[in-house]
Structure 1
Amino acid sequence: MVDDHRSPIWGIERLLESEPDLELVCAASTVDELLAHSQLQNEGLDIVILDLRLGDASTPRENVNRLTDAGIGTVVYTSGEHPALLRSAAKAGVLGVVLKSASEAEIIGAIRAAAQGNEVLTTEWAAAIDGDPELAAVDLSPQLQKVLALYASGETSVTVGRELGVTADTVNEYLKRIRQKYADAGRPTRTKVDLFKRAVEDGWLPVPERGSDRLAGPADGDR
């Protein structure tokens, strides 16, 4: 289980105590910590129960992709108040979404189904995928993902290029490709704030903290 608060972990531990076919092998506050733990302990993991919003500012898409690459399925365990985060995880290929307010039977059933490699078909998961049909998918290469995340966070073309080892002109060409892809999907990115919004919507950047200045996006002077 990956959650940076202890109480949900204690709750899952209690739920699984009486389930002989299910065992909570380990828990961690980040995916990095979990993968390091499982490798050190040489534990086999069938699934990870993942909280969407973690303190290391990782995105659900990044976390699900990393777990998938490690051969581990993911069930999102969430309070459900951040639709953009749910969409990000759903698009990355989670096995399902379970609300923390669900009944004990529903939670145990979802964990058991996912551990057997089955998708957990819940209304929350369906809503995460279909709730915003206007958000047409935009497929970005890993390099374009990095450019978008860095630039939309407030970096300039020069600093993004320095970070990625390319020239500012190359970064600007990447940004043209990104903007064209979003335009083709009917989701324009005329300003830097637009790029920030798209990056959050698609899970390339985490949802800003409530009340943070980041809610307004980066300054739009550098386009």
Structure 2
Amino acid sequence: MRHRVGIVEDHESVVIGISAMLSDESDLELVATAPTVTELLALTTDLDLAVLDLRLADGSSPKSNVEALREVGIETLVFTGAENPFLVRSAARAGVLGVVRKSESRQTVIDAIRTAAGGGQVVTTEWAAAIDGDPGLLDVGLSPRQREVLELYASGEKAARVARLTGLAPQTVNDYLQRIRQKYAEVGRPAPTKTDLYKRALEDGWLPIPERPSER
């Protein structure tokens, strides 16, 4: 069976490298590449697997990217050089099949793509440690509306502005924020300040991770 693979990567050299790796693999066909998930899906949704970089230039979060791909039935394998555990956990939470570092050998990368394209899990020590070893992975169970308020407020908007953007009453926004803080505190992830809420939103993938060139 020949599996159809797409790449979401904004570094041309990485795309060329993966293309070369797969060129001699008769069961793996690279059919599309794009610098963002949106652009890949505009090209095709007929894929068995998307190989996704965690940090893209458009500022999108790993969680939102994986969810967008899974909505159209495309599974995801993360291929990254980043060491940021927040990014790995965010992608893992969204349901990726595995995480492979760009420093791995050619054969390891090919084997991982082949396994994931066939629907199998690609479990690495680093990925397992990032997921299982972090108590911050406890889900706070935010509703879609609470998530919307958190995203706006944690990104820098004032509560009054959040109320205008969401159509909620100012007191309702404050009630939401109080409940959000309570939920985080209940799972051992306190967020008493706006900065703390920003950190929690980053950890959970609700906001894009700021670009850190040194982690490339």
TM-score (norm 1): 0.88
SS at the partner of 1:26? Answer: strand
Runs of at least 5 residues in structure 1 that lack an aligned partner in the other structure: 212-223
Q: Distance in 1 between matches of 2:212 and 2:32?
A: 30
| Aligned residue in 2 for 1:214 | none
| Aligned residue in 1 for 2:15 | 9
Report the CA distance between 1:52 and its aligned residue.
0.5
| Aligned residue in 2 for 1:22 | 28
SS at the partner of 2:212? Answer: coil
| Aligned residue in 1 for 2:168 | 166
TM-aligned CA distance change 1:133 to 1:174, over 3 Å: same
Identity %: 59
State the superposition RMSD in angstroms.
1.4
Task: Give the alignment of 1:132-143 within 5 angstroms.
Answer: 132-143=134-145
Looking at both structures, which has the greater relative contact order when contacts are Cα pairs under 8 Å and sequence separation is at least 6? 2
> 1:208 is aligned with what amino acid?
P
CA contact (8 A) 2:131 2:137 kept: no
CA contact (8 A) 1:98 1:124 kept: no
Q: Distance in 1 between matches of 2:41 and 2:167?
A: 28
Report the CA distance between 1:9 and its aligned residue.
0.7
Note the alpha carbon deviations across 1:159-215, whole angstroms, 9 max, x for none: 21222222222211211221111010111111101101111111111222339xxxx
| Aligned residue in 1 for 2:151 | 149
The 4+ residue runs of structure 1 with deviation greater than 6 A are none
Q: Distance in 2 between matches of 1:34 and 1:195?
A: 32
Indicate which of 77, 80, 88 corresponds to 1:78. Answer: 80
Task: Give the alignment of 1:12-91 within 5 angstroms.
Answer: 12-38=18-44, 44-91=46-93
Determine if the alignment matches structure 1 residue 107 to structure 2 residue 109.
yes
Determine if the alignment matches structure 1 residue 119 to structure 2 residue 117.
no
TM-score (norm 2): 0.91
